């Protein structure tokens, strides 16, 4: 299985999974700057995030700290009841942005709209002060699940796609009877159907063998269920949007992730450009925290969505 590492490895334990605490927001939906610090998956992760602020100078080197970009917290949750927005703690003139793609950020003010952003990713948020070429960085996570772009070889018992939580491949989504993957148009939170997925969007009836409590996908069963047809054609592609709700500080707000499923008979049949895409992303993410690479080049590589789940029948013909 070829795996690229999401946003760098951090020293975490998979044994403890604290799903976070609520945050304070004002009447306009903006996070208060004096809100209590949101708990991340454990104290080690939170310390790692806070210590991640750095500066890339014009020559590509990194300084230890950068105090020109900071947000109230480093972990945020969807809130379907309001348009959650956060602003930098201090205002400076310059340009803001983020990698990978998916964070809805105002390039002039640095304001971030959490509910409009791709969830389940850790972002490197950058700021270039006006009239300089220096770049300041900090890290911010939008809570949710992600699937890693991988190549799975079925006849080698490599057939389980496991979602990860909050952009860390070391944290699996814990099974919880109150989680709901592949949510349908049922009023399961007793507040009407306006916050429910559209009718016909469930993926299980279409053959995707997903566990509704953990989000794990059995790829062998998915193929046998006919997702790629009764007889899968080499090079088949199917795209799905998976709606889900997590029993964490998002308060079971409706969330979603788009996933692409590919099928190839052998590993040699996987197109070279698709394999290179996985390899490039692996290189990008393994250097996510340390690279001094030009931001334009980094942005070209930083396109993790939708993840590509590449299912291969066997390694060789």
Is residue 138 in a domain?
no
Q: Let me know: does 210 contact 261? Beta carbons within 8 Å.
A: no
Mean pLDDT of 118-140: 91
Whether cis (ω within 30° of 0) applies to the bond prior to 155 is no
Tokens linked to 213: 């409590």
- Alpha-carbon distance of 21 to 134, in angstroms, equals 35
Reading phi first (left if > 0) and then psi (alpha if -120 to 50, else beta), residue 160 is in: beta
Name residue, tokens 């009718």: 199
Cα–Cα–Cα angle for 277, 281, 283, nearest 5°? 120
pLDDT exceeds cutoff 50 at 284: yes
- Alpha-carbon distance of 192 to 186, in angstroms, equals 9
Is residue 185 in a domain?
yes
Is residue 58 in a domain?
no
Q: Let me know: does 68 contact 92? Beta carbons within 8 Å.
A: yes
Is residue 103 in a domain?
no
The residue ranking higher by pLDDT, 61 or 103, is 103
Instruction: Supply the pLDDT for residue 62.
Output: 37
Is residue 202 in a domain?
yes
- Alpha-carbon distance of 160 to 220, in angstroms, equals 8
Share of the chain above pLDDT 90, in %: 53
Instruction: Supply the pLDDT for residue 16.
Output: 35
Banded model confidence at residue 316, pLDDT cuts 50, 70, 90? confident
Phi, psi of 50 (to 5 degrees): -65, -35
Is residue 281 in a domain?
yes
Mean pLDDT of 281-300: 57
> Which of 149, 155, 146 has its CA nearest to residue 246?
146
For the stretch 3-46, pLDDT in tens is 443 334 333 333 333 444 444 555 544 444 443 333 333 333 33
Q: How many domains does the chain have?
A: 1
Is residue 108 in a domain?
no
Instruction: Supply the pLDDT for residue 6.
Output: 39
**pTM: predicted TM-score of the whole model, two decimal places:** 0.76
The per-residue pLDDT of the chain, averaged, comes to 79
Is residue 113 in a domain?
no
Banded model confidence at residue 65, pLDDT cuts 50, 70, 90? very low
Kind plus residue range of the DSSP H or E element containing 272: helix 272-286
pLDDT exceeds cutoff 50 at 50: no
**DSSP code, position 35:** P
Tokens linked to 126: 């950058």
Q: Let me know: does 119 contact 142? Beta carbons within 8 Å.
A: yes
Lowest pLDDT segment from 32-36, 88-92, 252-256: 32-36
Lowest pLDDT segment from 10-24, 78-92, 170-184, 248-262: 10-24
Q: Which domain holds residue 172?
A: 145-314
Instruction: Supply the pLDDT for residue 107.
Output: 97
The residue ranking higher by pLDDT, 234 or 192, is 234
Distances (CA, A) of 81 to 29, 73, 220: 10, 20, 38
Instruction: Supply the pLDDT for residue 57.
Output: 44
Cα–Cα–Cα angle for 238, 240, 245, nearest 5°? 160
Q: Let me know: does 109 contact 140? Beta carbons within 8 Å.
A: no
- The residues, any chain, with a CB within 8 Å of residue 192's CB and separated by 6 or more, are none
- Alpha-carbon distance of 4 to 287, in angstroms, equals 11
């Amino acid at each position: 299985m070829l795996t690229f590492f999401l946003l760098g490895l951090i020293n975490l334990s998979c044994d403890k999974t604290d799903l976070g605490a609520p945050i304070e927001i004002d009447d306009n939906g903006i996070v208060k700057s004096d809100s209590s610090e949101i708990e991340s998956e454990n104290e080690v992760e939170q310390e790692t995030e806070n210590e991640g602020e750095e500066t890339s100078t014009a020559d590509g080197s990194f300084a230890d700290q950068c105090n020109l970009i900071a947000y109230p917290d480093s972990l945020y949750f969807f809130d379907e009841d309001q348009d959650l927005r956060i602003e930098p703690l201090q205002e400076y003139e310059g340009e803001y942005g983020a990698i990978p793609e998916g964070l809805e950020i105002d390039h002039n003010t640095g304001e971030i709209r959490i509910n409009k952003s791709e969830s389940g990713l850790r972002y490197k948020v950058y700021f270039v002060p006006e009239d300089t070429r220096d770049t300041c960085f900090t890290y911010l996570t939008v809570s949710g699940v992600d699937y890693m772009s991988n190549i799975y070889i079925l006849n080698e018992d490599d057939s389980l796609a496991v979602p990860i939580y909050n952009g860390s491949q070391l944290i699996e989504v814990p099974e919880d009877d109150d989680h709901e993957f592949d949510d349908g148009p049922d009023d399961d939170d007793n507040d009407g159907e306006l916050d429910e997925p559209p009718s016909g969007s469930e993926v299980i009836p279409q053959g995707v063998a997903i566990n509704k409590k953990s989000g794990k996908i059995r790829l062998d069963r998915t193929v046998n269920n006919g997702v790629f047809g009764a007889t899968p054609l080499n090079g088949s592609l199917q795209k799905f949007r998976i709606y889900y709700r997590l029993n964490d500080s998002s308060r079971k707000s409706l969330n979603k992730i788009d996933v692409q499923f590919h099928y190839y008979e052998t590993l040699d049949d996987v197109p070279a450009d698709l394999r290179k895409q996985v390899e490039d992303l692996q290189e990008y993410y393994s250097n996510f925290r340390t690279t001094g690479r030009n931001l334009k080049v980094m942005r070209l590589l930083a396109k993790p969505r939708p993840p590509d789940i590449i299912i291969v029948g066997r390694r060789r013909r």
